[in-house]
Structure formats: C-alpha cells, structure tokens
C-alpha cells in the first residue's frame, strides 16, 4: 500500500501507513473504520498566530488559547483537597493553571520547561488563572508562533493514547492519507458549487487538516458545515414534496359547528390569533395534508385556535385526535374542549394510560364507528387497538416532548390527515428550520388584551418570611399561589422528601389558617384530579407541587408562583412554570428563590428577571445549553453534527435550506445523473429518516 494514490475513501483504516491492527482497533472506538471516516474526523480546534492571546492581554471571563513554557508544576493541598497546579509564561506575563482531578496523568506529562498550548475560561484569583484547561504539549514543529503554520489539534481518547496516537502521530497518519489518496469526488455538480460560493470537497477536506492559512481554513469550515446542514434540509424538502403529492381530505367549509364555538367566546381574538386561524383554514381547505407548527408563548391562546380548527374539521364530517405529553395537560385540554363542544353538539372523549377498562370499552368503539368526534389523550392514543373511522386532523401539543416515530404512529391512524403541532416553548429560528424545516410556521406573537406582564423577582432564602407575608396578603384578596419544588431523576427520592417536608411545614406553620394542597407525579390520577379541581374552584389557596405542573394548569385566580431552588431549573422550564400564573386579568408575580448559585444559574435567573419574551428566553437558552439539551434526550439522536453548530450557523442554515428546496423543486426524487452522489449519501447516512421520502 505504499504507492501514491493507492487509497480510496472505502479503504479499511488498518491499511493506512502508520496504523496497523492495534491502532485500527483504537481508532474504531471513535468511529473511524475507513479512510473516509478518518478524513471526517475533524480537529477540535486549530492553533494559529491569530487565535493565540498573549498572557498580558488576558481578560477575565473570556475563553482563550495561550501558549507558554511551564515554570512551576506540582501537586498542592488546600482545605483537605488536593489539586494540581502549574504556572506558565510566554514572556509577557504569568498564567496559573489548576486541575482538581486527573492529577496523575498531568503529573506524568507536564514537566518544567515543557512548552504547551492551553485553552479555557480566564478567571481571576491571586492573578489570572484557568481551571481545568485543555492543554497540548508542543514541540518545535507544533508551535504556530515559531512556524507560522496552522496546527490542527484532535480529540483523542484513552484508547488512542494507549497505542501512542498523540496529536503529532495522528497528524502524520492524516498526512500519509492525503498523500496517497486521489482527488476526492464531490457530492454536488460544479454549477451548484459556483452558485453557493463553495470550494470543492477535496480542497475542503485537505484544508481542514492542513490549511496553509486561516483564510482557506475558514472556507473549508464553511463548506463542511454547509454539507452537514444541507443533508437535513434536503430531507425536509423531500418530505414536504411527498406530502404535497400524497393528497388529503379537503376541509373547506367553516360550518355551523365552528360558528357555535365562535359565538361562545367571551373575548375578541387577537390579531395574531386571527392571522394564524386564517393560515390554518387555508391549509385545511387544500387537498394536500397540512403540516404546520403553531408557536405561541404561554398564555397566548393556542388552545382556542386548536378548538376552532377541530370544530371546522368535525363540521366537515371528520374526526380529530389531540395528543398531549402528560395526563395533567390531557385533562386540562379535555376540560377546555368540552366547555365549547357541548353547545356545538361535538362529542369529546378522554383517553389516557391509567383509565378504567370499562371507560376504554366505551371509547374505542365510539372512535372506530365515528360516534366520537374529538379524542384527547396522551401516548395512549397510539396504541394498536385505537382505530378511527375518519381521522381528518391530528393535533399534537408540546410536540418536542414526543419522538418523531410517536407522532408518525398517530398520523398513520388516518388516511393522510392534516397535522398541527403546537408548542409553548418558543423555538429559536435556526432550530425551527433545522428540526421543523418540513413544516410551515405560524406564530402567535401577541398576548390577549387583558393579560398583564408577570413581575419576576429573584430573592435569597432569608427573604422568605416577607414573601410568605405577601402570599397571605394576595390570598386575602381572593387570589391563589403555587409553590414549586424541583424534582430531577438523579435525586428524585431526596427531592420528593424535601417537597413533602416543605408542604408539612408550610401547612402547619406559615399557612396554618389557609387550605394547602400537595401535587406530585406519583399520586393516583383520581387524587391529582381532585386536587386540581379543588384548586380550580379556589377551595385550596396554596398549592405545593413538583414540576408535574409545568404544563397544564390554567387557574385565572393564581397570581403568585414561588419557585424554590430556582437555580436548579433550566431557563425554558422556569419560563414555562412562570406561565402557570397570570392567566387572568389580575397582576401576577413570579418569585425565584436562589439558594446555591453558579455563574450559569445566575445568568438564567437574570434573564428571567429581565424579560417575559419567550423568544428572547429561547435564544438565550439555546446559547447557554446547545441544541441537544434544548430538545432533550428524545431528540438528541435526531441528527449528529461533526462540525456544524445550530447556535452560530444561522446564515449557513438559511442558505442550505434555500438551496435544498430549489434542488428538490427541480428534481423531486434526485434522479438526475448529476445528483446521484447526493442520493447515495442520503440513502447511506440517513436511512432511518427516509420513511416518508421517495428517492429510492
């Protein structure tokens, strides 16, 4: 295998010069099996003169890369805790480096006189310091300050280090591959690359590993990011094209059912609600399945839009299924829908997991025979025995809490029904077109006229006696309060114990003269319903709850939300919780109790205090947590990026989306010869997502 150009993209990595069987096994642990995998194993960062900060110019709270020589290093002890400490200098100043774990490895590799590149966040404690910095040992040829080269640094795991694959060795392997491989074929035709201003794939893959300067590196990064984004956008465009050709029930007349529901409204719809309703009505009237995402902040009035859309559907002789992520929310929707349905002679049913067999036996035939018009439920709706006579519209609330497959299972129960997803978690624009790019977007960006902005205040635990006094004053005015305690999986037992203890304490001391209720996930459904009904009727003035109430409580008299240990909640979650108050015309308050605090938690609480705007909060949340966490574990396997970044790649995502939709409009099944490479890549890499796409 020593001759030039003897390698191709499918060559097993073992046959690359400098690898062999043992190293091939280690590389397999990071998903490298072929030459192509190797070329797509991108550096975690690059060192070049322009990205290195002189130590004298370091500023607190900035993430930097610095290069210096180790002056002092060794293990230290402070307050019964060992840590590893080093000081480096670059001739302009001194920088302290601190590690609280990993000391054994650091001790082996860091020696006085060694030159290193470090990366991390600068803090100030008896001088500039970085805690737990990433570091790389440099030799003469690695030092960008000496060589002027752009040096790639790769993510290396323990298995790689055990077979002596350090950064220098890994670069040699890559260099060997780039010398031996012929021109790497492109995925796109030349005219497409020209239109998009992209360099060829061969140049991008060579330059990401060995760039002559930072300008060509930037072009390589742009091209490779574009590739990752366009494949997902192509899937979205193909899916949308398939929906257009599949055909769906045309639901055009608004009808008497719609009129009856509309007449019952005790308020005027906002302009935003009217606009969204018009968009939905237009979609329903087409012989093409609607696929729309309705975004609206907590309390913006999405439920009534869902009810009116359902009434149009029922008026045209079709059934409606409404799926919610929790039983509490399903019950809440059932209550809201039933309130309007009776006068419009629409039959509603509730279908949830924990239901008596006798109840289910009544509902299932009612659905299959068409006697039930609207069914509201949880994932119980997708169970095999649930069948519809004529399902025309599927509505999914808080849709990011369901997997793609669960949503698909419900849609499959009809003959290509219309689909409306709703979310009260505002989705940043880049995420919406990445995760929901196949959907049309409707936004309710206006609150009902009688709603006042909720005042939010962060307080220390010492202020609680005054807060309790304020709650009692609100209750004396006929209002109610919700007190929320965190409940996370890892510490569920102790969290629940703390919430129960707090309930006992508050009911027995601070609010002895008030009616206090307790609500948490493990209660039986009957008990949850009883407590919720009592709170809804103001028979309970204070409700102590876990995050089970994050969605699904709509009590206009609840004006105070007190969140304990607010620093333990995510930003979007806190915003959702805050939305459980302020549902009526009275002034409402959200009090966030801070007990232990970190910089990150403080930033979250400051954001909540500053704004009620869900979109601003969602953008901040995305910046702080990244897209995987924003969508939660269920969605994290949806797409795996190696180089792309949904938080910062907005312009690239928009360009990729525009290009993908244009490409599919011109070649709906990617059957043209010049798109063959694209088709193959989609089939090979996105097999699990091709269920609704016709390209094979």
- Domain co-membership, 440 together with 459: no
Q: If pLDDT is split at 50, 70 and 90, which confidence band does 636 have?
A: very low
- Domain co-membership, 403 together with 269: yes
Q: Which residue has the tokens 């796409």?
A: 693
Which pLDDT value is given to residue 662? 94
Which pLDDT value is given to residue 33? 93
- Domain co-membership, 483 together with 427: no
Average pLDDT over residues 636-656: 77
Position 688 in a domain? no
- Residue 324, Cα to own-chain centre: how many angstroms? 18
The CATH number of whichever domain residue 552 belongs to comes to 3.40.50.300
Query: Domain boundary residue among 611, 626, 658?
Result: 611
Which pLDDT value is given to residue 691? 57
Residue 13 · residue 27 · CB < 8 Å: yes
Q: If pLDDT is split at 50, 70 and 90, which confidence band does 463 have?
A: very high
Query: Domain boundary residue among 94, 120, 147?
Result: 147
Residue 306 · residue 290 · CB < 8 Å: no
Q: If pLDDT is split at 50, 70 and 90, which confidence band does 283 have?
A: very high
- Domain co-membership, 319 together with 429: yes
Which pLDDT value is given to residue 633? 36
Domain that holds residue 465: 455-611
Residue 426 · residue 617 · CB < 8 Å: yes
- Please report the DSSP string for 566-610 in residue order: GGGS-HHHHHHHHTTS--SSS--EEEEEE-S--HHHHHHHHHHHH
Most confident of 238-247, 317-326, 426-435, 437-446: 317-326
Domain count, the chain: 3
Which pLDDT value is given to residue 629? 54
What are the beta bridge partners of residue 73? Answer: 86
d(CA 451, CA 477): 18
Which pLDDT value is given to residue 407? 61
3-state secondary structure 305-325: HHHHHHHHHHHCCCEEEEECC
- Mean pLDDT (the chain, rounded): 84
Q: Kindly list the strands in the beta sheet with 558-563, ordered across the sheet, starting from the edge strand earlier in the chain.
A: 455-460, 589-594, 558-563, 480-484, 542-545, 516-519
Q: If pLDDT is split at 50, 70 and 90, which confidence band does 2 have?
A: very low
Q: If pLDDT is split at 50, 70 and 90, which confidence band does 613 have?
A: confident
Which pLDDT value is given to residue 1? 41
Average pLDDT over residues 127-148: 76
- Domain co-membership, 462 together with 544: yes
- Domain co-membership, 282 together with 427: yes
Position 680 in a domain? no
Give pLDDT tens digits for 554-565: 788 899 999 999
Position 347 in a domain? yes
More confidently predicted of 533 and 692? 533
- Domain co-membership, 365 together with 433: yes
- Domain co-membership, 270 together with 398: yes
Average pLDDT over residues 653-674: 91
Give pLDDT tens digits for 144-186: 665 667 888 888 888 888 888 888 888 889 988 998 898 899 9
Position 82 in a domain? yes
More confidently predicted of 80 and 343? 343
Position 100 in a domain? yes
Give pLDDT tens digits for 445-459: 887 777 778 899 999
Position 37 in a domain? no
Q: Which of 503, 647, 515, 631 is nearest to 572 (CA)?
A: 631
d(CA 182, CA 39): 13
Give pLDDT tens digits for 219-275: 999 999 999 999 888 888 888 887 777 778 889 878 889 999 999 888 889 999 999
- Domain co-membership, 590 together with 521: yes
Does 139 score more than 60 pLDDT?
yes
- Domain co-membership, 411 together with 483: no
Q: Which tokens is 255 given?
A: 């009808």
SS3 of the chain: helix, strand, coil, percent, to 5 = 45, 20, 35
Does 299 score more than 80 pLDDT?
no
More confidently predicted of 187 and 61? 187
Does 635 score more than 60 pLDDT?
no
More confidently predicted of 320 and 402? 320
Which pLDDT value is given to residue 275? 96
- Domain co-membership, 604 together with 508: yes
The CATH number of whichever domain residue 60 belongs to comes to 2.40.50.140
Question: How many helices (H) does the chain have, and how many strands (E)?
Answer: 24, 21
- Domain co-membership, 376 together with 275: yes
Average pLDDT over residues 192-208: 95
The CA distances from residue 567 to 500, 578, 633, in Å, are 20, 14, 21
Pairing of strands 589-594, 455-460: parallel
Look at 208-222, 272-286, 314-328, 631-645 and tell me which has the smallest mean pLDDT.
Answer: 631-645
Position 661 in a domain? no
Q: Which of 438, 471, 490, 488 is nearest to 542 (CA)?
A: 471
d(CA 247, CA 451): 41
More confidently predicted of 14 and 694? 14
Position 153 in a domain? no
Query: Domain boundary residue among 420, 444, 468?
Result: 444
Average pLDDT over residues 419-441: 77
């Amino acid at each position: 295998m020593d001759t030039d150009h003897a390698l191709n993209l499918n060559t097993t990595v073992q046959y690359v010069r400098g690898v062999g069987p043992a190293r091939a096994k280690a590389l397999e642990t990071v998903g490298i099996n072929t030459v192509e995998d190797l070329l797509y194993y991108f550096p975690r960062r690059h060192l070049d003169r322009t990205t290195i900060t002189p130590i004298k110019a370091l500023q607190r709270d900035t993430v930097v890369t610095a290069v210096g020589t180790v002056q002092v290093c060794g293990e230290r002890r402070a307050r019964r805790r060992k840590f590893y400490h080093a000081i480096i200098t670059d001739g302009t100043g001194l920088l302290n480096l601190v590690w609280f774990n990993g000391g054994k490895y650091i001790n082996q590799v860091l020696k006085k006189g060694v030159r290193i590149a470090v990366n991390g966040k600068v803090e100030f404690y008896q001088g500039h310091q970085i805690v737990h910095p990433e570091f790389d040992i440099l030799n003469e040829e690695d030092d960008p300050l000496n060589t002027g080269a752009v040096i790639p640094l790769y993510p290396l795991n323990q298995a790689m280090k055990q077979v002596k694959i350090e950064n220098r060795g890994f670069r040699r392997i890559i260099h060997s591959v780039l010398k031996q491989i012929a021109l790497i074929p492109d995925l796109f035709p030349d005219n497409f690359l020209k239109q998009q201003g992209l360099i060829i794939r061969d140049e991008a893959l060579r330059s990401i590993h060995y760039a002559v300067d930072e300008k060509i590196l930037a072009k390589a990064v742009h091209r490779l990011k574009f590739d990752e984004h366009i494949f997902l956008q192509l899937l979205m465009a193909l899916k949308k094209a398939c929906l257009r050709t599949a055909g769906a029930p045309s639901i055009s007349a608004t009808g008497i059912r719609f009129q009856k529901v509309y007449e019952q409204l005790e308020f005027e719809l906002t302009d935003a609600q009217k606009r969204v309703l018009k968009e939905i009505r237009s979609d329903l009237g087409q012989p093409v399945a609607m696929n729309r995402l309705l975004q609206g902040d907590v309390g913006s009035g999405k439920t009534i839009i869902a009810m009116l859309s359902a009434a149009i559907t029922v008026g045209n002789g079709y059934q409606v299924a409404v799926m919610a992520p929790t039983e509490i929310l399903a019950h809440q929707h059932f209550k809201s829908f039933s309130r309007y349905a009776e006068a419009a002679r629409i039959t509603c049913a509730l279908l949830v997991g924990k239901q008596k067999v006798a109840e289910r036996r009544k509902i299932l035939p009612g659905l299959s025979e068409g006697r039930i018009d609207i069914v509201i439920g949880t994932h119980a709706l997708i169970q095999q025995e649930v069948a519809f006579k004529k399902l025309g519209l599927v509505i999914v609330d808080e849709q990011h809490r369901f997997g793609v497959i669960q949503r698909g299972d419900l849609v499959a129960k009809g003959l290509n029904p219309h689909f409306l997803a709703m979310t009260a978690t505002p989705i940043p624009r880049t995420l919406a077109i990445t995760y929901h790019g196949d959907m049309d977007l409707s936004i309710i960006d206006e609150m009902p006229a009688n709603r006042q902005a909720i005042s939010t205040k962060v307080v220390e635990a010492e202020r609680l006696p005054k807060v309790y006094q304020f709650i009692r004053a609100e209750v004396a005015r006929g209002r109610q309060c919700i007190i929320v305690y965190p409940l996370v999986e890892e510490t569920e037992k102790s969290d629940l114990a703390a919430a129960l203890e707090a309930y006992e304490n508050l009911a027995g001391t601070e609010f002895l003269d008030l009616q206090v209720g307790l609500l948490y996930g493990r209660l039986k459904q009957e008990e949850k319903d009883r407590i919720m009904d009592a709170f809804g009727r103001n028979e309970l003035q204070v409700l102590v709850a876990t995050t089970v109430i994050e969605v699904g409580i709509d009590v206009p008299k609840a004006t105070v939300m007190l969140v304990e240990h607010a620093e333990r909640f995510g930003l979007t979650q806190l915003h959702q919780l805050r939305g459980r108050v302020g549902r009526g015309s009275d002034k409402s308050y959200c009090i966030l109790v801070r007990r232990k605090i970190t910089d990150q938690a403080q930033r979250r609480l400051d954001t909540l205090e500053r704004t009620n705007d869900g979109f601003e909060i969602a953008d901040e949340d995305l910046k702080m947590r990244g897209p995987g966490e924003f969508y939660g574990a269920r969605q994290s396997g949806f797409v795996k990026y190696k180089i792309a970044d949904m938080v910062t790649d907005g312009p690239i995502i928009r360009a990729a989306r525009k290009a993908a939709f244009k490409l599919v409009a011109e070649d709906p099944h990617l059957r043209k010869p010049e798109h063959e490479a694209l088709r193959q890549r989609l089939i090979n890499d996105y097999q699990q997502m091709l269920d609704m796409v016709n390209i094979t």
